Amino acid sequence: MPVRTYIEAIRETLREEMRRDASVIVLGEDVGKKGGVFLATDGLYDEFGEGRVIDTPLTESLIIGASIGVSVNGLRPVPEIQFADFIFPAFNQIVSEAARMRYRSNGTFSCPMTIRAPFGGGVHGALYHSQSVEAFFTHVPGLKVVVPSTPYDARGLLRSSIRDDDPVLFFEHKKLYRSVRGEVPDSDYSVPLGRANITRPGTQVTIVAYGLMAHYALEAAELVEADGISAEVIDVRTLRPLDTETLLDSVKKTGKAVIVYEDNRFGGYGAEIAALLAEEAFDYLDGPVTRVAGPEVPGVPYSHGLEDWFMVDPDRIAEAVRRLAAY
Amino acid sequence: MATTAADARAAVGDAPAGDLAAKVGLTDQQLLDMYALIALTRAVDERMWILNRAGKVPFVISGQGHEGAQVGLAFELRKGHDWMVPFYRSVASVLTFGMTAREIMLAQFARSIDPSSGGRQMPGHYGAARHNILSTSSPVATQVLHAVGIALAAKIRGIDQVVMTSLGEGASNQGDFHEGLNFAGIHRLPVVTVVENNGYAISVPARLQTAVEDVADRAGGYAMPGVVVDGADVLACYRAGREAIRRARAGEGPTLIEAKVTRLTGHSSDDQQTKYRSAEELASGKDRDPLPRFRSQLRDAGVLDDEHESTIAAEIKAAVDDATDWAEAQPEPDPATAERHVYAGDPPDPSAGQPGAG
């Protein structure tokens, strides 16, 4: 089976979906000849031309707003926001327009589009090239939010997202682009939206994570294994709709949950999972639902030391797991 | 490229009686159709306010004073082929483009079969998929980007669709307006952007909204023609709309049209405009009402006579009565359906936290 990096999986899937379906177009800043600042769209311009791979001005609201129009008039756009940090000028278009189009038109209009945006820290991107923005969007009915962590899932979930009939935010962790390799079948498989993945079975503590943290959670599980702690790791993969069944089944089994996310702790996406477990698995819990998340500063600082201070890492997760296991 | 309102008026205003239709390239019947649309819109609009004051509908936002510009500008669009991306004052635009008085009234009463939203949105948020009228929201100018995107898709798909979008001059200060025109200019997209300038963004007068006298001047920054037209002059608007639509259809690119109109009512049923507009100003606004002006023009030209006028008036009264009574009699939306259409797949309607949504 071919081995691919995360970004190769995304690039190849974009190419295949554009070959398969002439209605799929790509638009964004530098997505054309340059192939995107991370080369996620490299080669698409040469193959599909400027009619389907469109370099836009530096206008994020336009990128999404025009994609809404494109999608209601028969095409299936895959807009790229160059960094998730820059998505906020388009917030109104995503939240007030795309998310509500189906509902507000009583089901007569819809916006099938997949908004790709690289996110996340640990890449020396500082305050404006490191953010985790998922919580702003997981709050919004009408949107779907996807965060793959492996090349296999990147391909399978991107395929599902592009073929989905609703607006999908597809957040790609920048640090995974070239650091993660994995087997990716050439087949036309897809990974359904709304299904979490148990990436490591265990019995004593459930670790819930996504994106880069899904990898760190696995490393943490290895670390605590040496202490005789059996941790189960769940990669959420789709943040909305959330696979509550897999989460609840796991926590009912282990009785303990550590929720890991890179974003600021307060009001972050993991808080929703914590609330879910508190409400629906209360009788099964043997310890406090625990969060390991980013600190309360308004961005990831730049210098090595400061960035390391900010980022959740496997040691911090392992420490929380040990504490909870001993509770 | 900008023409003045005076130029536009001069082009049609001096036409000899009986020759008016030929002068603008229309038939007498088409002129009567335009008149009937304007008069129908006014009657529907006035009925909305009566229903509001009678306590039957909680909210009205409408377009009295804008009707002549809307009918004239949209008259040359191809129904069922082109697209309209309206705003909350576009009552006449959507009626011109295929919606009916009944459909407007369904939205007023928020009935379940309201084609705009099934009673989910406030009245005035028009949309009709079967007419290619895109659903409208309340944030202003967002729709300009949607129109640009629809036009982009038409160009990519090789369909000769033209998109007309409308907004107020207040909305023309939003970033989305500028981002949209910029992109339309770059790609020469078949989109006609109509700014209906009534001089007020709710209460804020034009002098505090824009530094330029004419919003149309902004077209120069986006390499497209900026046309100023007297919105009380229906046929000047028709000519401006026809030329912009022709250009768009021929692949010659976008046009920005600014129609100078007057707002005859408050911003909405929740606004009292006497608080910020003087009695003199409100009185002078009535002089710029397109309806009596077009009526006089057609009568002077011999197109409209007493018989036509009374026939049209009777038809309109019957249509508005019918629309009101019929719409009011339709069922309200069932709260059991309130969770539908969040995502594709209906039913079941997914909420967050349930796998398999959609």
For the stretch A284-324, pLDDT in tens is: 999 999 999 999 999 999 999 999 999 999 999 999 999 99
Nearest residue to B146 via CA among B82, B215, B97, B84? B84
How many structural domains does chain A have? Answer: 2
Question: Token digits for B290?
Answer: 């397109």
Measured between its terminal Cα atoms, the distance across chain B in Å is 49
Range of the domain at A256: 197-325
Q: What is the pLDDT of residues B32-47, one digit of tens each?
A: 999 999 999 999 999 9
A104 and B137 within 8 Å at the Cβ level: the answer is yes
User: Is A192 a member of any domain?
Assistant: no
A271 and A204 both lie in a single domain = yes
- How far is CA A258 from each of CA A125, A197, A247, A264, A282, rounded to the nearest angstrom? 27, 16, 11, 16, 15
Measure A174 CA to nearest chain B CA, in Å: 26
Question: Token digits for A199?
Answer: 């990436």
B-chain residues near A108 (CB < 8 A): 115, 127-129, 135
Q: Which residue, chain included where needed, has tokens 């079969």? A: B113
A205 and A229 both lie in a single domain = yes
Task: Give yes or no for residue B286 having a pLDDT over 50.
Answer: yes
Average pLDDT, rounded, for chain A: 98
What is the average pLDDT across B138-167?
98
Task: Give yes or no for residue B346 having a pLDDT over 90.
Answer: no
User: Is A261 a member of any domain?
Assistant: yes
How many structural domains does chain B have? Answer: 1
User: Is B320 a member of any domain?
Assistant: yes
Task: Give yes or no for residue A73 having a pLDDT over 80.
Answer: yes
Task: Give yes or no for residue B15 having a pLDDT over 80.
Answer: no
Question: Token digits for B132?
Answer: 């290619």
A156 and A274 both lie in a single domain = no
B-chain residues near A106 (CB < 8 A): 114-118, 120, 340-341
Task: Give yes or no for residue B269 having a pLDDT over 70.
Answer: yes
Q: Among A129, A155, A183, identify where a domain stops.
A: A183
A233 and A284 both lie in a single domain = yes
Q: What is the pLDDT of residues B237-268, one digit of tens each?
A: 999 999 999 999 999 999 999 999 999 999 99
A34 and A63 both lie in a single domain = yes
Here the CATH number for the domain that contains residue B184 is: 3.40.50.970
Lowest mean pLDDT across A67-81, A312-326, B12-26, B82-96:
B12-26
User: Is B85 a member of any domain?
Assistant: yes
Q: Choosing among A25, A103, A164, A240, which should be mutated to test the B contact, i.e. which has the most B CBs within 10 A?
A: A103
User: Is A188 a member of any domain?
Assistant: no
Task: Give yes or no for residue B17 having a pLDDT over 50.
Answer: no
pLDDT of residue B9: 42
A158 and A18 both lie in a single domain = yes
A202 and A147 both lie in a single domain = no
Q: Choosing among A106, A138, A234, which should be mutated to test the B contact, i.e. which has the most B CBs within 10 A?
A: A106
Here the CATH number for the domain that contains residue A225 is: 3.40.50.920
* Separation of alpha carbons B248 and B162, rounded Å: 6
A140 and A53 both lie in a single domain = yes
Helix, strand, or coil here: B205? strand
A-chain residues near B120 (CB < 8 A): 103-104, 106
Contact A185, A212 (CB under 8 A): no
User: Is B357 a member of any domain?
Assistant: no
- The set of catalytic residues of A is 129
A19 and A163 both lie in a single domain = yes
Contact B327, B111 (CB under 8 A): yes
Q: What is the pLDDT of residues B308-343, one digit of tens each?
A: 999 999 999 999 999 999 999 999 999 999 999 999
A202 and A177 both lie in a single domain = no
- Report the residue of chain B nearest A237, measured CA to CA: B355
Q: Among A141, A159, A183, identify where a domain stops.
A: A183
Range of the domain at B175: 5-337
Contact A134, A119 (CB under 8 A): yes
B343 and A96 within 8 Å at the Cβ level: the answer is no
pLDDT of residue A1: 87
* Separation of alpha carbons B99 and B319, rounded Å: 13
A160 and A29 both lie in a single domain = yes
